[in-house]
Amino acid sequence: MKIIVTGGAGFIGGNFVQYMVNKYPQDRIINLDLLTYAGNLETLKSVEKSSNYSFIKGDIADRKFIFELFKEIEPDVVVNFAAESHVDRSIEDPEIFVKTNVVGTTTLLDACREYGIKRYHQVSTDEVYGDLPLDKPEMFFTEETPLHASSPYSAAKAAADMFVLAYYRTYKLPVTVSRCSNNYGPYHFPEKLIPLIISRALNDEELPVYGKGENVRDWLYVGDHCKAIDIILKRGKEGEVYNIGGHNEKTNLEVVKTVLRVLNKPESLIKFVADRPGHDMRYAIDPAKMETELGWKPEYTFDTGIVKTIQWYLDNQDWWKNIISGEYTKYFDKMYKGRVI
């Protein structure tokens, strides 16, 4: 099979490409990525010389390019990870999120219609559901929860999901959608919470935490996510949505303190900063459909996954130090300087 993985130089996409290249040597894995700020080909060093792997630089919103690519490759499967994905950045510049996350998705769908496809899979997020109240821990997101996006990022992802499902109903395109909780693990771009805390704590730098750190997220180890998508591609039902969660709810402050404890760093590094606009309070996924219909369960708890993740960052400091030495430094200053409360 020929499988195009868009956004394969990003965090989750890069992990998925490595997983697929290693697990399915008989398949051809084509990594399509524009290499914007979070795209990093160093993530793919372990597979870049594999005979079943290739990389193509390109924009999924470039209709002419995408149609020519599909005509040439004739892919059997498309897995779309490509997205602008950081909520803070979406607040600063919503337009690029519409271009990549919505127009890019419809461009891929139209190419699939034109040239045929066995499966198009859209990788989405639990953020399309909005948030849950902190005082109702019994409430979870299910696949039937109405979409209620809170940020420009989640609004763009929700719109993309709706287009994917509309193409199934209107054109009978063979699609599936997965919505995951917060991922963590190797190759995570340093602007996100866990790698940000690890990298700054190792340098004894202040650790910015929004508000009081009470926001709750359900954490999913990226390797478990990759396995879940693989299972959906094999056994998932066309036109269906699948929630992928880790059963690991933690407040942001709990996450930060856990990282500090493992690294043997003081909690005095924590600095609370003014909260971002519209910050969702709680995400929590019910993955029962994945577990009962497809037989998937996460292998890692947060306690086992975070130790593995921290060790990876300790063993691969060149990877993340190369990133934070560049443009990311300017971005960090823009987002957090002057917000201490």
**Is residue 153 annotated as part of the catalytic site, yes or no?**
yes
Q: Encoding tokens for residue 6?
A: 């868009």
At 324 the pLDDT is: 74
Q: Any idea which of 5-9, 193-197, 237-241 has the lowest mean pLDDT?
A: 193-197
Bridge partners (DSSP) of residue 54 are 30
At 331 the pLDDT is: 44
Domain range annotation of the chain: 2-184+221-244
In a 13 Å sphere around the CA of 157, the CA atoms on its Cβ side amount to: 30
pTM, rounded to two decimals: 0.90
At 325 the pLDDT is: 72
Superfamily name with CATH number, domain 2-184+221-244: NAD(P)-binding Rossmann-like Domain (3.40.50.720)
- How do residues 280-301 score in pLDDT, each as one tens digit? 788 899 999 999 999 999 999 9
Is residue 339 predicted with pLDDT exceeding 70?
no
Is residue 110 predicted with pLDDT exceeding 60?
yes
Contact 178, 242 (CB under 8 A): yes
- How do residues 59-70 score in pLDDT, each as one tens digit? 999 999 999 999
Q: Which of 33, 59, 84, 127 is catalytic?
A: 127
Place of tokens 């990759």: 226
Across residues 222-226, what is the average pLDDT?
98
- How do residues 94-105 score in pLDDT, each as one tens digit? 777 888 899 999
At 276 the pLDDT is: 72
At 108 the pLDDT is: 98
**Is residue 127 annotated as part of the catalytic site, yes or no?**
yes
Residue 75 in 3-state DSSP? coil
Q: Which of 19, 120, 129, 153 is catalytic?
A: 153
Q: Which of 126, 224, 249, 286 is catalytic?
A: 126
Q: Name which of 10, 224, 232, 228 is nearest 100 in CA terms.
A: 10
CA–CA distance, 213 with 217 (Å, rounded to integer)? 11
**Is residue 93 annotated as part of the catalytic site, yes or no?**
no
Residue 38 in 3-state DSSP? coil
At 87 the pLDDT is: 55
DSSP 116-136: --SEEEEEEEGGGG----TT-
Contact 311, 194 (CB under 8 A): no
Bridge partners (DSSP) of residue 201 are none
Q: Encoding tokens for residue 180?
A: 């995951």
Q: Name which of 330, 334, 324, 335 is nearest 38 in CA terms.
A: 324
Contact 279, 252 (CB under 8 A): no
At 12 the pLDDT is: 96
State the burial class of residue 218 (Cβ atoms within 10 Å of its Cβ: 0-12, 13-18, 19+): buried
Is residue 270 predicted with pLDDT exceeding 50?
yes
Angle at 212 between CA 338 and CA 279, to 5 degrees: 80
Across residues 40-49, what is the average pLDDT?
91
Bridge partners (DSSP) of residue 57 are 33
Is residue 203 predicted with pLDDT exceeding 70?
yes
